[in-house]
A = this chain, B = another copy of it.
Amino acid sequence: MNLKEFARQLGLSPTTVSRALNGYPEVNEATRERVMAAAKRLNYRPNSRAQRLATGRAMAIGHVIPIANKHEMVNPVFADFIAGAGETYSRNGYDMVLSVVPDNDEEAAYRELKARGTVDGVIVHGPRMDDPRVRLLTEIGLPFVVHGRASGSQTPYSWLDVNNRRAFRRATDFLLDLGHRRIALVNGLEFMDFAMRRRIGFTEAQEARGLTPAPELMSSAEMTEGRGHAMAASMLALPEPPTAFLVASMISGMGVRRAVEERGLRIGRDVSIIIHDDDLSYMKNGEDVPIYTATRSSVREAGRQAAEILLSLITDPSGEPQTRLLEAELIIGQSTGPVPAPART
């Protein structure tokens, strides 16, 4: 059923019906109700393809997911971010379109999205330092919001980020207050902007107390269970092993836990662990009592808010870039405790 036929059945012109459906004021309230009721009854919905062509808007937001040629991983926070953003989109009548592209085609993917008018804007995921996508998108004029930040970008741009530096600084301070001096950093890949900021927070906290972070206790790799395990295992094998770990994610944290337990050490007593907790729905840090002490910030909420920013940018294209910095909370769990008496060795 199309508009023409639907209007005919109502004895109205397509114009009036369209206006009634879209809430324009120049239609009698009684008429509008009649139209609305009939639409529901006859299950009429305007064809979205026609609507998009006529209005010139795609009513869709793009998310480009680059996949490395072989087995690059899908970012595990992705699902939750998407869920959050999707809520916002649905509420506002937008669709979410995902493009999975080989990572060397990413630029082409954005250009295509713009040229074909498939979406009205995009969210940029996993920004690196000085990320080229910022310039590209600014140049081609496709509205965007970065989830995270791209330090070093010349042009201003919209972003939403967690205050990673402060989060890791606070976590480090917490460990220092517990007496820990051999604190290890099990970081994500440090060309990622967020990981770089976390390292700065980690370092700053120690330097503020006149301490120098030991280079052998700072590691960075992909945030998987396996890599977390490997990094922790090798550090625990050092002559002066760490008494505490600051870990980039829940998943790496599980690897660290495994490494600690393999050495027969007790978490929270022999070794303390703080993780960053993205509050993923399928990876809860305990039900009531947190398992890990953690810096927590909901990535789902980040998705919701990033989407809101993007939609407002699209609605009002003249506006300034918008930025939003979320604070992580430090939640105390069972994985931390005072530094053990230096009995060992």
CA–CA, A117 and B75, complex, Å: 31
CA–CA, A343 and B67, complex, Å: 51
Q: Collect the chain B residues with CB atoms within 8 Å of residue A257's CB.
A: 258
- Given A43-B115, A281-B71: A100 and B86 interface contact (C-beta under 8 Å): yes
Taking a contact as CB atoms closer than 8 A, the residue among B74, B82, B87, B101 that contacts A80 in the complex is B74
A284 touches B224 (CB 8 A): yes
CA–CA, A74 and B79, complex, Å: 7
Distance between A96 CB and nearest chain B CB, rounded to angstroms: 5
Distance between A45 CB and nearest chain B CB, rounded to angstroms: 4
Kindly state whether residue A200 has any CB partner on chain B within 8 Å.
Answer: no
Q: Collect the chain B residues with CB atoms within 8 Å of residue A90's CB.
A: 99-101
- Given A79-B79, A254-B254, A261-B261: A225 and B284 interface contact (C-beta under 8 Å): yes
CA–CA, A71 and B279, complex, Å: 11
B286 touches A226 (CB 8 A): yes
Which residue of chain B lies nearest to A98 when distances are taken between CB atoms in the complex? Answer: B96
Kindly state whether residue A283 has any CB partner on chain B within 8 Å.
Answer: yes
Binds B, one of A13-21, A48-56, A179-187, A202-210: A48-56
Contact with B along A63-87 (1 / 0, CB 8 A): 0010100011111101110110011
Kindly state whether residue A47 has any CB partner on chain B within 8 Å.
Answer: yes
Kindly state whether residue A7 has any CB partner on chain B within 8 Å.
Answer: no
Residues of A within 8 Å of B, CB-based: how many?
61
- Given A52-B49, A118-B95: A76 and B225 interface contact (C-beta under 8 Å): no
Kindly state whether residue A46 has any CB partner on chain B within 8 Å.
Answer: yes
Per assembly, the copies of the chain total 2
Contact with B along A279-296 (1 / 0, CB 8 A): 011111011000100000
Q: Is the interface of A mostly helix, strand, loop or mixed?
A: mixed
Kindly state whether residue A10 has any CB partner on chain B within 8 Å.
Answer: no
List residues of A (149-165) whose CB comes within 8 Å of B's CBs: none
CA–CA, A96 and B60, complex, Å: 11
A45 touches B115 (CB 8 A): yes
Q: Collect the chain B residues with CB atoms within 8 Å of residue A283's CB.
A: 76, 224-225, 251
Kindly state whether residue A133 has any CB partner on chain B within 8 Å.
Answer: no
Q: Which residue, of A46, A48, A87, A223, has the highest number of chain B Cβ atoms within 10 A?
A: A48
Nearest 9 CB-CB pairings of A with B: A86-B100, A73-B281, A45-B115, A76-B282, A48-B116, A79-B79, A49-B52, A49-B53, A74-B79
